[in-house]
Structure 1
Amino acid sequence: MSLMSSMYTGVSGLESNSADLTTIGDNIANANTIGFKAGRASFEDALAQNIIGGAGSSQQGWGARVQAIQKLVTQGALTNTGLATDLAIQGGGFFVVKGNHNGSDGTFYTRAGQFTVDKNGALVNLEGLTVQGYQADATGAITGQMGDLKVGDATSPPSATAGITVRANLDPNSPVLTAPFDPLNAATTSNFSNSTTVYDSLGNAHQVSIYYRKTATGWDWHALTDGGGLTGGTAGTPTEIAGGTMTFDTSGKLTASTQTGTFNPINARNPQTLTFNLGDPTGGGGTGVAGITQYGNQPSATTFLSQDGYSSGQLARISIDAKGVVTGTFTNGQSRALGQVALADFSAPDQLERLGGNLYGQVPGSGDAVVGKPAAGGLGSIASGALEQSNVDLATEFVRMIAAQRGYQANSKTITTADQLLNELIALKR
């Protein structure tokens, strides 16, 4: 090998170590970039030449060159943020986002889960690319093909009250009332009352009060609501919508109960039949103690009162579980699944093309994207309220930087030494 070749061999070392320093600098610059995967420069020796015959022991190399800049797709540490739409992947896979990036429409992949809900209700990244997932129907069932995941424009439709459940005790020492029950003077013509709010099919609320009246043979009960909310009713006038009787045995157990009446709200789709669940009478094979009782030495008191209807509701907040299922909680207290985040993985994820903006693109070397649901099929699980930090280890990068710097210096010395020898050779002619 000539002295000139020695100089070019040194130059190859400078170029290789310079590329290594560039990669290290890129890693350090992205030490705080969410979801960033560190790179590593790998070198190979350059083509050798045979200087004597063809024996392998008589070959000389021509230096080094960069073989590849590898992506190290190891797991980054997770940092809690408390924001439900901040997502991190624990394990393999990438979030799938779709939209326009740098003037090109397409599908992209990322580990950076800094998401938010845009004005159209779609889950998007900070660039406005839409997160892909599986949409849920109105019942919360997740079906269909992968597409834009919309979670912010959901509402909860109303549900008409079908049943009212009462658990209470009626004081057997209450006086028997001889005057008939008067809805206009319900408090004075009854012994005890309780109330709840029920809902019609349009989600309108109606206050229902139940009045209990001691008789010679048992108890009567009357359910009243304001007539202004009823078909044919008068505002401000209490109107009976249901009533019945109850009898008890000497131990205070409910033996029988009856019920009549229909609830017909204004503008509702259909009249409603409200079922008043007052207990399980012994006469029907029940225990007689699951609802209303008449235990002695105990005052009249309500222990439980509920109904199964609710009004319409707006989305109040969302939560996302480990399987990527987005659940919405509504202002009416209801909740249901809104959709599920999709993940994609590749046979060679380290070969994905960096596109900037924390995005990667599929290339032939990476293999085709295999899309699925989190925590299934080898894909990682989702951590909501957390972000995956860069996997750059600064201590390792500084050690590599020192090694690259020394390598650069050593190759510089090769060039200066070859230059000195060339000067000596030129001086021989003088």
Structure 2
Amino acid sequence: MMSSMYSAVSGLATHQKKMDVIGNNIANVNTIGYKKGQAVFKEIFSQTIQGAGAPQGGKGGTNPQQIGLGVDLGAVTTIHTQGGVQRTGKPTDLMIDGEGFFIVSDDESLNNRYYTRAGNFDRDEAGNLITVDGMKVLGYNTDGELVPLRIDKTERVPSVASNMIGIIGNLDSRLAEDEVYNTDTTIKDSLGNSYKVNFEFKKTGDSNTWELAIGSIENISNGDIVNIDNPSAPIEITFGDSGELNTINGSGTDFNIDIQIEDIDGSFFGNGDDIINLDLSKLSQDANKNDAKGFDGGKDGESGSASGNLTGFSISADGVITGVFSNGMNKTLGQIALAEFDNNSGLEKIGNNLFQVTPNSGEPQINTPGSSGLGDIKATSLEMSNVDLSMEFTDMITTQRGFQANSRVITTSDEMLQELTNLKR
């Protein structure tokens, strides 16, 4: 009779532990990236009154007779299901849509690494991406090394010299002989100075032939003129009967011309030898208005630009951090790194939304988002707790009833003992 009391006592203790787990889940219902716990019971060893017997003669076998001696806590399992999405609009708030953990560290050597699903990050004075506790978020730099990610407001991109001018559009086939169409474009030297290049298209006596003359190049800021070295005769352009580009200076295989510009003190055009390539492959001639227009850059060409400072950034689904600069250029600053484990439930919670590796979790496999089974990154969003309040309250009710039932076993056993002691009066 006494064993029933001790079994019930074990039931009280175990249900109390389960209620502790439920209470912690409910307390963390709004904790970013929280993964709920689940208490699992197991039976304690049983007292065997009679062992099992094998069949013999005309009789069948007998089953063992055992009385259980209570219950114990088998495990508290961490459930790593996906939490809900909360949109924040903050560019450093990140969510993993799928498998994986962010990697953070609190030492310079990066030997201490921790893992989290909470992506409510910010930046420190040096531009490092950090957690709310100041741990640095790790990712890949442009050389592919795993380092603390940094989005530095002092980041800048240097000026880029123009190396190609493209002219695209139509020349009006209805123009009379010697009529002229003028257009222009703007290019930049290696210091970011802007220059205006003038083009003059003149219709010749042949209805399908034009002459292109390249005028002087004017510094827009001060009006200084930069001349073309050794100006050659106008470029002869011919079109086919259907308006398609046919030949440039008699050649029908190469629609590009190199322009040699006078040396400019302290700066240059093109790749350093003051040569800019003129791409005419997109020209056509139809009976429509003139709309041919030059533009900086072309197929396989890089647009010139002034230097620029970092004005903003964005983080893509594959974790690439792209800086946006004041000159309109973009530049990759780094890429978020994620870790995955063979057994997520084997990770140990250490507080502050962090997990650490244990012998049963396996070693982390580190890769980029969206690869090797890892989830994508959702910027300006956070993953909320995966606690389901309706399920937690249901478990609370069943746990409370289990606790009450075990209490009743103790009081009933006590009444039976009382009756037994009252046999002798």
Deviations 1:4-45 (A, max 9, x none): x43332221111111111111111121222221111111112
Of the three residues 118, 133, 139, the one matched with 1:133 is 139
In 2, Cα distance between equivalents of 1:53 and 1:275: 98
Are positions 1:212 and 2:219 aligned together? Answer: no
**Which of 7, 10, 23 is residue 8 of structure 2 equivalent to?**
10
Residue identity opposite 1:262 in structure 2: I
Deviation per CA, 1:70-92: give whole Å up to 9, x if none.
11112223344444433222332
Cα deviation, residue 226, structure 1: 4.1
Greater mean alpha carbon deviation, residues 384-393 or residues 60-69: 384-393
**Alignment match of 2:380 (pick from 372, 378, 385):** 385
Cα offset, 1:148, TM superposition:
1.8
Q: 1:157, 1:299 → 2: CA distance?
A: 39
User: 2:18 is aligned with what amino acid?
Assistant: D
Query: How many residue pairs end up in the alignment?
Result: 387
Query: What residue identity is the alignment partner of 1:78?
Result: V
1:27 corresponds to which residue? 25
Aligned-CA RMSD value: 3.3
TM-score normalized with structure 1 length:
0.78
Output one character per residue of 1:58-117: Cα deviation in whole Å (capped at 9) or x when no partner.
4322211111111111222334444443322233221111116xxx98210111122233
Is 1:356 the counterpart of 2:355? The answer is: no
Decide whether the 8 Å contact of 2:196 with 2:219 is kept in 1: no
Provide the C-alpha distance between the structure 2 equivalents of 1:306 and 1:98, rounded to a whole number of angstroms. 45
Q: Distance in 2 between matches of 1:106 and 1:409?
A: 46
- Indicate the larger mover: 53-62 or 416-425: 53-62
1:119 lines up with 2:125 in the alignment:
yes
Aligned to 1:223: 215
- Which amino acid letter does the alignment assign opposite residue 116 of structure 1? D
Q: Distance in 2 between matches of 1:259 and 1:134?
A: 40
Change in 2 beyond 3 A, CA 1:136/1:85: same
Code of the aligned partner of 2:127: G
Pairing of 1:294-313 with structure 2 (within 5 A) = 300-307=290-297, 308-313=303-308
Matches of 1:236 and 1:339, distance apart in 2:
41
Kept in 2, the 8 Å contact 1:222–1:240? The answer is no
- Are 1:248 and 1:255, in contact at CA under 8 Å, matched by a contact in 2? yes
2:246 and 2:198 map into 1 onto residues whose CA distance is 17
In the alignment, what sits opposite 1:266?
Answer: 265
> Do residues 413 (structure 1) and 408 (structure 2) align?
yes
Q: Could you tell me how far 1:368 is from its partner in structure 2?
A: 1.9
Determine if contact 2:187/2:296 at 8 Å carries over to the other structure. no
Q: Distance in 2 between matches of 1:54 and 1:292?
A: 99
Is this contact kept in 2: 1:374–1:381, CA < 8 A? Answer: yes
Counterparts of 1:61 and 1:388 in 2: how far apart (Å)? 43
- Give the whole-Å Cα distance in 2 for the aligned partners of 1:382 and 1:237: 50
Q: Secondary structure at the match of 1:207?
A: strand
Query: d(CA) in 1 for partners of 2:204 and 2:346?
Result: 87
Match of 2:41, as an amino acid? F
> Partners of 1:429 and 1:309 in 2: how far apart?
108
The amino acid of 2:197's aligned partner reads: S
Specify the SS of the correspondent of 2:5. Answer: helix
Which residue matches 1:370?
365
CA offsets 1:225-254 (integer angstroms, 9 cap, x no match) = 44698xxxxx54444346551445697877
> Per-residue deviation at 1:164?
1.2
| Alpha-carbon separation, structure 1, partners of 2:201 and 2:419 | 123
Which residue of structure 2 lines up, in the alignment, with residue 332 of structure 1? 327
Distance 1:26 1:238 in 2: 76
Change (3 A) 1:331 1:49: same
Return the alpha-carbon distance in structure 2 between the equivalents of residues 215 and 57 of structure 1: 110
1:327 and 1:338 in contact (8 A); partners too: yes
Q: Percent of counterpart pairs with the same letter?
A: 35
- Which residue, 50, 68, 80 being the options, matches 2:75? 68
2:389 alignment partner, one of 370, 377, 394: 394
The secondary structure found in structure 2 opposite 1:376 is: coil
> Which residue of 2 is the match for residue 148 of structure 1?
148
1:327-366 Cα shifts (integer Å, max 9, x gaps): 3333333334332222222222112111111111111222
Assess if the C-alpha contact under 8 Å between 1:159 and 1:311 holds in 2: yes
1:301 to partner: Cα distance: 4.1
Give the Cα–Cα distance (whole angstroms) in 1 for the partners of residues 235 and 398 of structure 2.
91
Are 1:240 and 2:246 counterparts?
A: no
Name stretches of at least 5 consecutive residues in structure 1 with no aligned partner: 138-142, 178-190, 230-234, 281-289
Residue of structure 2 equivalent to 1:286: none
